[in-house]
Amino acid sequence: MITPAHSMEENDITMSFYRFVRIMDTGRLKIDLTNFCQGNAIIGTIVIAEEGVNGSVSGENAAIKALLSYIKKRLNIEEIIINSATSAIPTFKRLKVKVRKEIVSIGLTDVKPELNTGTHVSGNEWNDLLNNPDVLVIDTRNNYEIDVGTFKTAVRANTKNFREFPEQIKELLEEDLEKPIAMFCTGGIRCEKASAHLLALGHKQIFQLKGGILSYLHDSSKDHSMWEGDCFVFDDRVAVDANLEPADYEKCHGCRRPLSPDDRRSKEYEYGISCHNCIDSLNDNRRASLMERNHQTQLAKMRTAKTLNQTRKLL
């Protein structure tokens, strides 16, 4: 199911949302959300599972608000965790609604965030945790996200994907189950599962950043913010700065990693094909495929530019 490419307008917003709640009719919900989004010119990605719903979408402000109201009514819930921002550039190209086993994959069947998670904190409370030397602050995101930016005093879980978290976290955990642990991620959803997992292991004091990094950046002034760098996001903006504006990052076509201006100046960087992260791992077939895709993309851009020039001459 694909919708046409969408240009961002002044009253458009990008919003991420999630809610852990038992859903039995996932197939029917996929059809209903697809129809609603198509009828309201909403694009982005929505993931549905029996454990809940997770999405990141863009469209007109009124349409996005209507979608959230529809989801609440459809699932018979009063609250849903959201993060929103405006953007001058398109954040998605199409609409995708998927049914999966998990709305965020950790690979553990006994983790139930809808039943038990850590204590949600925000603002000054979160800064207090960051400043407390007795608190273990864990960045639950993947290494390539952390390289873009993170909180002062935070340690990384050292994962390539979230499914590695349960195994990798063992190296950071101490035998003292009373030691306070604070965790964060981009929008909060991964911490719901991470905190539920640690509580299941017997840890008593688990805290998580409510709404994740995006909510923190939205609510914090520069004087009080303890965030360093930019924040990776899973859409076409690639990363946002402390003001939630698109940062100067691009995504490598070969490995999908975020690339800073310094990365793109590297001799190992080849636009549309590879970067320093993947140059040695691409086989000949993959490289040829990327080169052809890049060639076709450039031809399409040239045709578009030619059409625009011809249109201007007629005006």
**pLDDT (0 to 100) of residue 215:** 95
User: Are the beta carbons of 186 and 214 closer than 8 angstroms?
Assistant: yes
Decide if 4 is inside a domain.
no
Please indicate, yes or no, whether residues 206 and 128 belong to a single structural domain of this protein: yes
3-state secondary structure of 114: coil
Give the active site residue among 185, 231, 252, 278: 185
Q: Residue 11 phi/psi, 5° resolution?
A: -95, 15
Please indicate, yes or no, whether residues 23 and 72 belong to a single structural domain of this protein: yes
Please indicate, yes or no, whether residues 36 and 92 belong to a single structural domain of this protein: yes
pTM for this model (two decimals): 0.86
Please indicate, yes or no, whether residues 257 and 222 belong to a single structural domain of this protein: no
Please indicate, yes or no, whether residues 90 and 151 belong to a single structural domain of this protein: no
Domain that holds residue 299: 248-315
Please indicate, yes or no, whether residues 223 and 271 belong to a single structural domain of this protein: no
Q: What is the pLDDT along the chain (315 residues), one digit of tens a residue?
A: 434 444 445 568 999 999 999 999 999 999 999 999 999 999 999 999 999 999 999 999 999 999 999 999 999 999 999 998 887 777 899 999 999 999 999 999 889 999 999 999 998 899 999 999 999 999 999 999 999 999 999 999 999 999 999 999 999 998 899 999 999 999 999 999 999 999 999 999 999 999 999 999 999 988 899 999 999 999 999 999 999 999 999 999 999 999 999 999 999 999 999 999 999 999 989 888 888 888 787 777 777 666 656 655 665
Please indicate, yes or no, whether residues 225 and 252 belong to a single structural domain of this protein: no
Final residue of a structural domain among 99, 130, 156:
99
191 is catalytic: no
∠ CA 142-50-74, rounded to 5° = 110
Decide if 243 is inside a domain.
no
* Helical packing angle, 212-219 and 123-131, nearest 10°: 110
3-state secondary structure of 31: helix
Final residue of a structural domain among 65, 99, 133:
99
Q: What is the DSSP letter of 104?
A: S
Please indicate, yes or no, whether residues 219 and 133 belong to a single structural domain of this protein: yes
Which CATH number belongs to the domain containing residue 157 in this structure? Answer: 3.40.250.10
Q: What is the DSSP letter of 53?
A: E
Final residue of a structural domain among 99, 130, 152:
99
Please indicate, yes or no, whether residues 226 and 253 belong to a single structural domain of this protein: no
Decide if 104 is inside a domain.
no
Decide if 255 is inside a domain.
yes
Q: Give kind and range of the element (H or E) at residue 85.
A: strand 81-85
**pLDDT (0 to 100) of residue 293:** 84
Decide if 295 is inside a domain.
yes
Which CATH number belongs to the domain containing residue 83 in this structure? Answer: 3.30.70.100
Decide if 3 is inside a domain.
no
Token pair for residue 145? 């996200």
**pLDDT (0 to 100) of residue 116:** 92
Decide if 172 is inside a domain.
yes
Please indicate, yes or no, whether residues 95 and 141 belong to a single structural domain of this protein: no
**pLDDT (0 to 100) of residue 313:** 64
Over its C-alpha atoms, the chain yields an Rg (Å, rounded) of 21
For the chain, how many structural domains are there in total? 3
Decide if 6 is inside a domain.
no
Please indicate, yes or no, whether residues 172 and 226 belong to a single structural domain of this protein: yes
